[in-house]
Amino acid sequence: MCEEMCPEFEQFAREQQGRNGLSSFEILEGTNFAANRRPLIDRNRAVKAFERSSAGKLFLPQDVRTPATLIKTLKYLMESILSSDAPYASIYGFVRDRSRAVIQGKIILLLLLFLY
């Protein structure tokens, strides 16, 4: 199971997407979207993004976050992101998306417990 707020594979994939994959809250300080350079992800601030469920989607064990990690993620969103000086629309969009991913993670954990 994953003990990071964002699984390693997702971090890599979103970093490769650059501007389209990263939020300004997740970019490593000192790197940015300027000069056609791909920004780097801050592995300590990256949070798993919400993905719509689809039939046949597999959840790999290394991508399922532990209950402690889900709590840590919500705490981070509430304490660090909500108190930031960023525009309200940016904060709202980020917290809404990432909290939906936390809820989705809780549901996946409950299903795993029920099925196994």
Per-residue pLDDT of the chain (116 residues; tens, 9 = 90+): 899 999 999 999 988 887 678 898 998 887 776 655 778 899 999 999 998 877 777 777 888 999 999 999 999 999 999 999 999 999 999 999 999 999 999 998 888 888 77
The reported pLDDT for the residue numbered 114 is 82
pLDDT for residue 44: 95
- Spatial separation of the C-alpha atoms in residues 3 and 34, rounded to whole Å: 32
pLDDT of residue 101: 95
Task: Give, for 90, the enclosing helix (H) or strand (E).
Answer: helix 88-115
What is the pTM (predicted TM-score) of this model? 0.87
Residue recorded with tokens 């917290």: 95
